[in-house]
């Protein structure tokens, strides 16, 4: 096996997306669209991968910052796919082997398909191999023209095709394998004498044929895979196909997904066996979920680490948080970034947390805000408790020791602390530190004015 490089074309704007954002950076199943074909090329063994960039070049480039196998080539003016590849060749000077050419807008392409194509290309010692597909409606694509004996003779674009050629159902996917020597020797021979006045990469096929070199077309079994995304309708279709693939692999790994059609799990998420995921959930941004968890309906989990046997109840939102084992959250709870919950913690309905550490076995079961706080073990937070963490300028810390009982409707005006085993009575506003083993109570004494209503009338 020789060495392998790839060129990914991504200089175009993607006008039909009608977006301020370049097409190839639109996210699909948790990655920018272009990251999918790049991953396929990488998994097929390609190094380096040259991205041809033009529109929003900086944004595309920074998407791959730190990736040592990525090189970028600038195409200032988009003069056609042939011109785009010519721009990439400088970044491949000194490279000898096979060059894969892909488009940045084909997120469904799998590395297995690329590997099969490469094998076919190399086994047949071809100069050029193009991946093709048979389409019922080939409109818009380049068509593969074959001679009477079935050999590929050229590709003709929709806008240049005569009525007979327009009947051809075998289309060009825009994915090719080419011998690097052939590519660099012939790329300059491409002209722009065609309907669009563009340099068509596809002209290389006719050039190879004219020179008596082997030029092959390999029809793919799954036409879905080469689907190019041009507008937001196709973006949604591509996302659906990827979602199915992702969900399928989790299910095969032992995760129960009650309704895969309405479960949105991004690429690169880890979920342990025997975890059950109910409909309407979104899970993304590198989340790791342990074994035997139950994630009820309409839960959103982004960038979280969740231990085994956790129970996340309906409609909760979890962001950048860490949960130990056997933690219960929700329904309708909001864990904001920096929440760290120890084993067996219970967070109930309408509880919001932010930047807190909560020790093992502690509970906040109802209607509470805990922000910028450190809570020990076995703390009970009563209904309606609020950490008043913000004075309008700065955020302040609340510290609560082990085995503390906070009654209902308590405000903890930070910075403030409550020592181990203390009890804060319901309705208290805590403004000074509570020592350990104490009772804190601050209430206006109650007055009953008897007969008051009668006098009013
Ligand atoms: C191209 C093929 C067509 C094939 C189709 C498959 C040519 C001439 N035609 O047509 O046979 O059926 O793909 O989807 O190649 N790009 C650049 N710089 C340019 C022009 C394009 O980077 O100067 C990039 C685009 O951003 C895009 C890709 O190349 O990612 C394809 O270009 P596009 O103009 O969409 O080609 P098609 O007309 O679809
Ligand atoms: Ca009160």
Q: Six-digit token pair at 433?
A: 């530190």
Task: Indicate the number of domains in the chain.
Answer: 3
Instruction: Look at residue 75 in the predicted model and tell me its pLDDT.
Output: 97
For ligand 1, say whether the CB of 133 is within 6 Å of any of its atoms: no
**Residue 143 sits in the same domain as residue 47:** yes
End-to-end CA distance of the chain: 98
Contacts 24+ apart (CB under 8 A), 416-419: none
Are residues 214 and 333 located together in one domain of the fold? no
> 314, 330, 361 — which closes off a domain?
361
Residues 25 and 64 in one domain: yes
Give per-residue pLDDT as tens, 401-425. Answer: 999 999 999 999 999 999 999 999 9
Tell me if residue 366 is catalytic: yes
Residue 454 lies in a domain: no
Q: Taking the model in full, what pTM does it have?
A: 0.92
pLDDT at residue 1 greater than cutoff 60: no
Distance CA 326, CA 39 (A): 35
In a domain, 84, yes or no: yes
Looking at the structure, do residues 32 and 116 belong to the same domain, yes or no? Answer: yes
| Ligand 1 atom nearest to CA at 13 | 26
Listed range (1-10, 154-163, 284-293, 448-457) with the worst mean pLDDT: 1-10
Q: Could you tell me the CA-to-CA distances from 5 to 132, 318, 406 in Å, in that order?
A: 21, 41, 63
- What's residue 2's pLDDT? 52
Q: Share the mean pLDDT of the chain.
A: 97
C-alpha 429 – ligand 2 centre gap (Å) = 6
- From CA 224, how far away is CA 202, in angstroms rounded? 21
Show the domain range for 259: 255-361
Mean pLDDT of 334-346: 98
Same domain, residue pair 270 and 375: no
Same domain, 261 and 298: yes
Structure tokens at 105: 């807008």
Asked if residue 212 belongs to a domain, the reply is yes
Of the listed ranges 185-189, 222-226, 291-295, 449-453, the least confidently predicted one is: 222-226
Asked if residue 35 lies in contact with residue 45, where contact means CB atoms within 8 angstroms, the answer is no
**Judgement on whether residues 157 and 101 belong to the same structural domain of the protein:** yes
Are 125 and 215 contained in the same domain? Answer: yes
Q: For residue 246, how far is its CA from the centre of ligand 2 (angstroms)?
A: 50
Give a yes or no: residue 264 inside a domain.
Answer: yes
Q: 9 in ligand 1 pocket by Cβ < 6 Å?
A: yes
Structure tokens at 142: 């380049």
Tell me the pLDDT band of 222, cut-offs 50, 70 and 90. Answer: confident
Residue where a domain terminates, one of 328, 361, 394: 361
180 and 106 in a common domain? yes
Helix, strand, coil percent values for the chain (each to nearest 5): 25, 30, 45
Q: Is residue 61 in a domain?
A: yes
Same domain, 260 and 213: no
Let me know whether 54 and 200 are in one domain: yes
- Looking at 309, 342, 361, which one is the last position of a domain? 361
How far does residue 451's CA lie from ligand 2's centre (Å)? 25
Is residue 393 in some structural domain?
yes
- Is residue 377 in some structural domain? yes
Q: Which of 19, 25, 35, 103 to mutate to test the pocket of ligand 1 (most atoms within 8 A of CB)?
A: 103
Given the residues 55, 250, 334, 366, select the one marked as catalytic. Answer: 366
- Domain of 312, CATH number, reads 2.160.10.10
Q: Examine residue 79 and state whether it is found in any structural domain, yes or no.
A: yes
Query: Nearest C-alpha to atom 36 of ligand 1 is from which residue?
Result: 81
Q: Is 80 in the pocket of ligand 1 (CB under 6 A)?
A: yes
- One domain, residues 354 and 377: no
Q: Is 362 in the pocket of ligand 1 (CB under 6 A)?
A: no
């Amino acid at each position: 096996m020789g060495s392998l490089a790839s060129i990914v074309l991504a200089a175009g704007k993607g006008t039909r997306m009608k977006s301020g954002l370049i097409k190839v950076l639109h996210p699909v199943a948790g990655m920018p669209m272009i990251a999918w074909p790049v991953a396929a090329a990488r998994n097929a063994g390609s190094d380096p991968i040259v991205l041809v960039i033009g529109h929003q070049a900086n944004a595309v480039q920074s998407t791959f910052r730190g990736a040592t196998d990525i090189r970028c080539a600038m195409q200032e003016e988009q003069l056609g796919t042939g011109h785009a590849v010519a721009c990439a060749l400088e970044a491949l000077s000194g490279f000898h082997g096979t060059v894969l050419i892909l488009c940045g807008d084909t997120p469904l392409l799998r590395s297995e398909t690329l590997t099969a194509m490469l094998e076919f290309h190399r086994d047949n010692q071809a100069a050029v191999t193009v991946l093709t597909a048979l389409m019922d409606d080939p409109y818009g694509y380049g068509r593969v023209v074959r001679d009477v004996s079935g050999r590929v003779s050229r590709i003709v674009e929709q806008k240049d095709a005569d009525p007979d050629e327009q009947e051809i159902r075998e289309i060009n996917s825009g994915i090719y394998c080419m011998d690097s020597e052939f590519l660099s020797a012939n790329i300059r021979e491409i002209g722009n004498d065609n309907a669009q006045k563009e340099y068509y990469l596809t002209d290389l096929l006719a050039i190879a044929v004219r020179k008596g070199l082997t030029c092959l077309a390999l029809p793919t079994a799954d036409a879905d895979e080469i689907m190019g995304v041009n507008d937001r309708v196709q973006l949604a279709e591509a996302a659906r196909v990827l979602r199915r693939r992702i969900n399928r692999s989790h299910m095969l790994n032992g995760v129960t997904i009650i309704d895969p059609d309405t479960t949105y799990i991004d690429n690169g998420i880890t979920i342990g066996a025997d975890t059950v995921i109910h409909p309407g959930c979104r899970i993304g941004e590198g989340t790791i979920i342990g074994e035997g968890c139950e994630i009820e309906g309409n839960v959103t989990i982004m960038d979280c680490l969740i231990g085994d046997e956790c129970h996340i109840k309906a409609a909760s939102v979890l962001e950048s948080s860490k949960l130990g084992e056997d933690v219960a959250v929700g329904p309708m709870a909001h864990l904001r970034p920096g929440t760290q919950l120890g084993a067996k913690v219970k967070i109930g309905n309408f509880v919001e947390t932010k930047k807190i550490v909560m020790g093992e076995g502690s509970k906040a079961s109802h209607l509470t805000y805990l922000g910028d706080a450190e809570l020990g073990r076995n703390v009970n937070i009563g209904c309606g408790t609020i950490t008043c963490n913000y004075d309008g300028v700065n955020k302040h810390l609340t510290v609560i020791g082990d085995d503390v009982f906070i009654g209902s409707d308590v405000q903890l005006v930070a910075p403030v602390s409550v020592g181990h085993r203390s009890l804060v009575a319901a309705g208290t506003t805590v403004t000074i530190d509570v020592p350990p083993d104490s009772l804190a109570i601050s209430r206006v004494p109650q007055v009953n004015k008897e007969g008051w209503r009668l006098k009013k009338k």
